[in-house]
Structure 1
Amino acid sequence: MSRADTMDRMRRLELLAVQLKQDSHCTVQDLAEAHGVSRRTIARDLALMRAQGMQIDADRGRGGGLRLDRTWGVGRVNLAYGEAVDLLISIAVAERMDSPMFLASLGSVRRQLVASFSPEKRAKVERLKARILIGVTASTYVQAKASAPPKRVVQALHQAFIDQELLDITYQREDGVRSNRLIAPHYLLLKYPIWYVVAFDHLREGPRTFRCDRIRAAERTGTSFTLLPKKAFEPTLLNDDLSI
């Protein structure tokens, strides 16, 4: 087994332990589909987990489920780099919103996460944090008309933002008119609880701000872009009416 295969299996075992701890009814087939492996692979993983002392209970009979004994702890949390970055940025957003509640331990969590990165990755995370902007709270009018964006849109926008990649989107204005845009997502702006993407719009050939919940479809292009300075977007950011 190669080093990559070994690392993949170790990561899968960690995720299996978490999943079995959380889900009240989970079958081998469910686990195989969730992790993109065969039932035999999952069976071998479960056998190894039991050999390591994990108490995995199984219901007998057709459709029987699996679960990790509720008294068993899953141990330390091992995050993939992307997960750690997301958590660190979320902590930074919470701190910058200056909420007095539940912030007592965030500094300690942030320091531990940062310490787990190499200097190169720390610098990359700092650049990402600088591209997330916090504005004033959205008006009640805007909040009343907001909805959660589709999961696929969030995933595509999230990755394009991190990788500095052009994004094809379908955008719907407040009046219902839709248009297809090619955008470079330079910054993300939170006017709580509404997220906006501050982008260079290649259709309009200039900076534009789009409400994330009005993006109906998004597809990554694989084409990278060069980050522009924040001052290039200042006219757009100074516009209080961001409900386009």
Structure 2
Amino acid sequence: MSRAGTLTRLERLDLLASRLKAQEPMTVAAIAEEFGLSRRTLFRDLAILRDRGLPIEADRGRGGGIRLHRTWGIGRLTLSYREAVELLVSVAVAERMEAPWLIANLAPIRRKLAASFSPALRDRIDGLAQRIRVGGAASPAVLQGFSRPEEKSAEALCRAFLEMRLLGFDYTDTEGSESRRRVEPHHLMLNYPVWYLVAWDTGRGAVRSFRLDRMRRAQVKPEEFRARPAAVFADAFAGIAAVAS
């Protein structure tokens, strides 16, 4: 009995798809012989796989090659929620930088990412770039005390920033004093490579700016907040004037 007779069509299609994804050199003749198929049946199976979304290329002739197009994986990328949030923030930063070789392509990328989020978050995603400021390079004095931000705190900040939820964290100020803060994360500002969070500090009832590398044990809170008027933060963007105390 031929191999084709021992496999159902679904099994054969799955096996053929697996062989294609392995990117092994294959020819029409070799695959037809291996599966015990006529060339007509093989091309019919390939057509079904194309309909399923596999971009299959086949050279003409009995000895022609069969392969997936080199970009076959594009569009099938799976991101975790954390990865999608961090990528959205990165796209928003690039949009604010207005890099000429990127700006033309960022809007469709943002829209495709936004499509994977709930409708409640999509309006916030569209306005994300407006909540990010990009300034000049950090001063030598700032760089002297700069350290790599805590990864989990950076992750929590990105999520709270996108979802507009309160954020709690431990903070060490310039004098070495430590405190627990609870804030509304309204804006991010980059003075490369130093990130600042410009927030409404609920405990002090005022705008405060925090360096991300000084934040520890950040946690996203369940409470949401509404955007405050831009005028509230005007002083904070004048050279990061409203410093954390």
Asked if Structure 1 and Structure 2 have the same fold, meaning a TM-score greater than 0.5 normalized by the shorter chain, the answer is yes
Paired residue type of 2:22: Q
Q: 1:243 to 1:145 in 2, by over 3 A?
A: farther
Q: 1:180 to 1:124 in 2, by over 3 A?
A: closer
- Structure exhibiting the larger radius of gyration computed from Cα positions: 2
Contact 2:194–2:211, Cα closer than 8 Å, also in 1: yes
Contact 1:142–1:243, Cα closer than 8 Å, also in 2: no
Deviation at 1:236, TM superposition (A): 2.1
Contact 1:85–1:125, Cα closer than 8 Å, also in 2: no
Q: 1:79 to 1:239 in 2, by over 3 A?
A: same
Question: When the two structures are superposed, what TM-score results if normalisation uses the length of structure 1?
Answer: 0.62
The CA distance in 1 between the partners of 2:16 and 2:144, in whole Å, is 50
Q: 1:124 to 1:165 in 2, by over 3 A?
A: closer
Deviation at 1:171, TM superposition (A): 0.3
The CA distance in 1 between the partners of 2:178 and 2:232, in whole Å, is 26
Paired residue type of 1:154: A
Question: When the two structures are superposed, what TM-score results if normalisation uses the length of structure 2?
Answer: 0.61
Paired residue type of 2:132: I
Q: 1:185 to 1:165 in 2, by over 3 A?
A: same
Is 1:127 the counterpart of 2:127 in the alignment?
yes
Q: 1:195 to 1:242 in 2, by over 3 A?
A: farther
Contact 1:171–1:214, Cα closer than 8 Å, also in 2: yes
Deviation at 1:242, TM superposition (A): 6.9
Paired residue type of 1:114: R
Identify which of 88, 104, 108 aligns with 1:111: 108
- Structure 2: any 5+ residue segments left out of the alignment? 1-13, 24-69
Deviation at 1:184, TM superposition (A): 0.6
Equivalent position SS for 2:166? strand
The CA distance in 2 between the partners of 1:238 and 1:157, in whole Å, is 23
Contact 2:181–2:201, Cα closer than 8 Å, also in 1: yes
Count residues with an aligned counterpart.
179
Equivalent position SS for 1:157? helix
Q: 1:76 to 1:140 in 2, by over 3 A?
A: same
Deviations 1:141-160 (A, max 9, x none): 11221111111101111111
Identity, % of aligned positions: 31
Deviations 1:92-118 (A, max 9, x none): 42343355xxx5255235435436755
Instruction: Report what 1:227 is aligned to.
Output: 227
Equivalent position SS for 2:127? helix
Runs of 4+ more than 3 Å apart: 48-51, 79-89, 115-118, 120-124, 239-244
The CA distance in 2 between the partners of 1:149 and 1:85, in whole Å, is 17
Identify which of 71, 74, 90 aligns with 1:76: 74
Contact 1:211–1:242, Cα closer than 8 Å, also in 2: no
The CA distance in 1 between the partners of 2:113 and 2:205, in whole Å, is 40
Deviation at 1:125, TM superposition (A): 2.1
Q: 1:186 to 1:243 in 2, by over 3 A?
A: closer
Is 1:55 the counterpart of 2:22 in the alignment?
yes
RMSD (Å) for aligned C-alpha atoms:
3.2
